[in-house]
Structure 1
Amino acid sequence: MTGSEETLSFRLAYVPGVTPTKWVRIWNERLPGIPLTLVPTSAAGAYDVLRDGGADAGFVRLPADRTFFSAIPLYTETTVVVVPKDHLFTAADEISTGELADEIVLHPLDDTLGWERPPGQPAFERPATTADAIELVAAGVGLLVVPQSLARLHHRKDLKYRTVSDAPQSQVALAWPEERTTDQVEDFIGIVRGRTVNSTRGRSQPQEQARSKAGNAGKAGARQKSTAGKPAGKGGPRGPRGGSGAAKGARRGKPRRRS
């Protein structure tokens, strides 16, 4: 397929807990001719998807390998503990990791907080996924400490969550392979950063640029027509102090007395 025949597209990966709806909507409004395809991926597998070319950019959880990826940190999530709805922790607005010391705290294999060992007592075995750990919490087996977005993602009526004040936090970022920073990646970076279509740091649509140039050319032509053919003294250049047609070299004021 030649470059002229190639159909432009943009593939955006995203990890569980991230909701890309707002940015996708802006993309579709700003670049309707370039389809955006969402690529859901696990937190652990997101970087492999980007590295292998399965997506052009993605919402991931840090840290990222900065020798291969560029990344723009977006926000840091609140960390919460998920508990059964009748657990005593639900009486508080937030708790500390020290208060988890006597509780069984589950540590799924897809943990996103990066700690070697969570607080509290370890379970007999580690659940394979966060979804599996949620099921165990509902069954009364233990508690789970996760980013708040994951607690919301796996919401159940029989579970509640409370903020953990001193737990590690997860950072969400936009990442992409540095050597594959395409025009579409630049466009999406501009959207995420909140740039307007006409921002000098962002890329504008070709049709937007063409309309802008045509409009400026039309205005310039109109100005030239409005000043063409006007006689001097009627809209033409005026002399010093607002006068018109004053003789060159003419003196003003009182005549000098001769001695």
Structure 2
Amino acid sequence: MTGSDASPSFRLAYVPGVTPTKWVRIWNERLPDVPLTLVGVAAAEAYETLRGGGADAGFVRLPVDRTDLSAIPLYTETTVVVVPKDHLIAAVDEVTSEDLADDIVLHPLDDTLDWERPPGRPAIERPATTADAVELVAAGVGLLVVPQSLARLHHRRDLTYRPVSDAPQSRVALSWPQAETTDLVEQFIGIVRGRTVNSTRGRPPAEPQPKARVKATDKAKAKARSQDKGGAQRKPVGGGSAGRSSRTGSGTARGGKRGKPRRRT
């Protein structure tokens, strides 16, 4: 994409739990000649992927180091606790961190929540990934608190989840290298922000249409004709009043009959 002879293409990274399908579909409709390639990355590797040129932009989880990366926050996820279907928590609609105090709560190494202190009792060993932690929940080893999208991603029939009202929340953002804000990146930003295909943002202003200039000229000519016509109207001569003859100076209408003169005797 940086070479003058290279065919344009766009690489989009995304972390687990994010579903970019809608935006990819719009991209393919608007830019059918520019192929978009999806690059799945772990949450902890997303920033280095962008910095290293492995993707032009990516859906990541905040926070983002704004020193060299730009980011547009998109949405905030609900945080849930994943439990076996026969667990007591499955019988309620919502829980707090305090409700998990007596349970072992797994804290995987790829956890994306910014905990000051994770709830519950810690496990002897931290699972390497969220997927490994879900398997341990299914085995009855403990519970797992994650963003809702990850609970859906690793869904199992023998597990369910419930919202945790006071847990930290995960925010998803679109990010890209500040030094590489290309035209294609701008196009994708517009798609994510919901701009229409006719949006002029990021595009040069359109040239005025010839019809508009013709209409303006026609209006000027019409105005000039109107002024000329008004100035040519005939006015009364010598300030005479309406209805008075210019010859006789009287009110007698022009062309009226005169009385017959008297004969002298």
TM-score (norm 1): 0.83
Give identity over the alignment, percent: 71
Task: String of CA shifts for 1:123-164, please: whole Å, max 9, x gaps.
Answer: 110000000000000000000000000000000000000000
Alignment of 1:1-259 (within 5 A): 3-203=3-203, 216-217=209-210, 219=211, 237-239=224-226, 245-248=229-232, 255=239
- What amino acid is the match of 2:229? G
Alpha-carbon distance, 1:220 to partner: 5.7
Conservation of the 8 A alpha-carbon contact between 1:97 and 1:167? yes
Q: CA RMSD in A?
A: 2.8
In structure 2, runs of 5+ residues without a counterpart are: 242-265
Rounded Cα–Cα distance in structure 2 between residues aligned with 1:64 and 1:238: 67
Rounded Cα–Cα distance in structure 2 between residues aligned with 1:125 and 1:3: 48
Conservation of the 8 A alpha-carbon contact between 1:18 and 1:59? yes
3-state DSSP of counterpart to 1:19: coil
Larger Rg: 2
1:248/1:102 Cα in 2 relative to 1: closer, same or farther (>3 Å)? same
Rounded Cα–Cα distance in structure 1 between residues aligned with 2:153 and 2:230: 82
3-state DSSP of counterpart to 1:18: coil
Rounded Cα–Cα distance in structure 2 between residues aligned with 1:220 and 1:3: 40
Rounded Cα–Cα distance in structure 2 between residues aligned with 1:168 and 1:56: 29
3-state DSSP of counterpart to 1:127: coil
Rounded Cα–Cα distance in structure 2 between residues aligned with 1:59 and 1:127: 24
TM-score (norm 2): 0.81
Alpha-carbon distance, 1:197 to partner: 2.1
In structure 1, runs of 5+ residues without a counterpart are: none
Rounded Cα–Cα distance in structure 2 between residues aligned with 1:191 and 1:182: 14
Alpha-carbon distance, 1:251 to partner: 5.0
Task: String of CA shifts for 1:41-76, please: whole Å, max 9, x gaps.
Answer: 000100011011100100000000000100000000
3-state DSSP of counterpart to 1:245: helix
Alpha-carbon distance, 1:114 to partner: 1.9
Rounded Cα–Cα distance in structure 2 between residues aligned with 1:102 and 1:3: 59
